[in-house]
Amino acid sequence: MKKRKIFKIIGISLFILFGVVFTFAKIKRISPLAWNHKTVNQPVFSDKAINGYDPVAYMVSDEAMEGNEQYTHRWHDADWFFATAENRDLFAKNPEKYAPQYGGFCAFAVSKGFTANVSPESFVNVEGKIYLFADDGIMQEWKDDLQENLKLSNKNWK
């Protein structure tokens, strides 16, 4: 009887633990690349790409700028937001040029075989391509071995 009660408690505990881990992973948008994931980094219940930040501003202004709902463009089943109509129009003409690499998921996570959400303020422009990161520390770690991490990220993303 005691063994049965212990197994029941362990089972319930494992179920709760699994639920907490799964919920955290979904909120942070962390999953292995081998799993089916969206092409563009967007929340579970929204089509807003890269947390609503303007992808063109990274290249044109070299800064992270929040987009405005007034200036949107639909691409790859996601709504992209822009700070200005000019930025929206530039993106609409050539989205591959302005969209961040790896669908706007964290480049460091992609180099390790995962997808993860980003802090849109943590970005780097490498040879005209934008890479986003979970935070500045992760970004610096990725940049410390830039060529190797680019190679791993590109290989893993395919």
Among residues 36, 137, 49, 146, which one has the least CA distance to residue 98? 49
How much is the pTM?
Answer: 0.80
For residues 89 and 63, what is the distance between their CA atoms, to the nearest angstrom? 18
Walk along the chain (158 residues) and give the pLDDT tens digit of each residue. Answer: 677 776 566 666 655 554 444 444 444 455 556 566 778 988 878 899 999 999 999 999 999 999 999 999 999 999 999 999 999 999 999 999 999 999 999 999 999 999 999 999 999 999 999 999 999 999 999 999 999 999 999 999 98
Rounded to whole angstroms, the Cα distance separating 49 from 82 reads 11
Helix (H, G, I), strand (E, B) or coil at 92: helix
Integer Cα distance of 42 and 48 in angstroms: 6
Q: Which backbone phi and psi does 142 adopt, to 5 degrees?
A: -65, -40
Pick from 94, 92, 87, 96: nearest CA to 58: 87
C-alpha to C-alpha distance for 13 and 19, rounded to whole angstroms: 10
Beta carbons of 129 and 59 less than 8 angstroms apart: no
pLDDT of res. 44 = 77
Pairwise CA distance, residues 28 & 20, whole Å:
12
